[in-house]
Amino acid sequence: MVKFSAAILIAALLGASAPVAGAQTAGPTAAPPAAGAPAWKPIYETNQTIYYVSAAAVPRTGRAATETMMEFKVPQVIGSDQVWSVVSRLELSCDEDSMLTVDNSYYPRPMGAGAPVQSQGANDAWHTPEAGSLGELVWSTLCRK
């Protein structure tokens, strides 16, 4: 297991950095949901993680709540907890080209399963995702016209 800080994980999910060279954009197939869990659509994959967005439709006007998930291929240690996945709740405004991360929850099992071992509010403000970032990939996937 690799030990990461929560700040590094969230920056990796929606940060301003460009996607890693050699990483692949994931295909359009949705991951099978567990009973009562949201359906996920994979959008990006590296040798360490798979990034998903909620498969639920987002309206093209106004603000909408949605979720993203970062799943690790090998569990990570955050604080003293083993974490397989991080689910981030977001608000998007497709017509204003902006997004806001509301909070992040860390799960002990793949695909956001189990009770969260940790949750924290995000200290974020409405912003336009930076070109080449995972935030832009999330926004463009959900807000594609």
Q: Whole-number mean pLDDT of the chain?
A: 81
* Pairwise pLDDT comparison (84 vs 18), residue with the higher score: 84
pLDDT of residue 36: 57
pLDDT of residue 4: 43
Q: Is residue 143 classed as helix, strand or coil in its secondary structure?
A: helix
- The separation between CA 14 and the C-alpha centre of its own chain, rounded to angstroms, equals 7
Instruction: List, for residues 19-73, the tens digit of each pLDDT value.
Output: 433 444 443 333 444 555 679 999 999 999 999 999 888 888 889 999 999 999 9
Instruction: List, for residues 129-139, the tens digit of each pLDDT value.
Output: 999 999 999 99
What domains lie within the chain, and their CATH numbers? 2-143 (2.40.128)
pTM of the model: 0.76
Within 10 angstroms of residue 105's Cβ, the number of other Cβ atoms is 19
Enumerate the β-bridge partners of residue 49. Answer: 72
Mean local confidence (pLDDT), 72-86? 94
pLDDT of residue 58: 87
Burial zone of 115 (CB within 10 Å; 0-12 exposed, 13-18 middle, 19+ buried): exposed
Percent of the residues in the chain that have a pLDDT greater than 90, as a whole number: 65
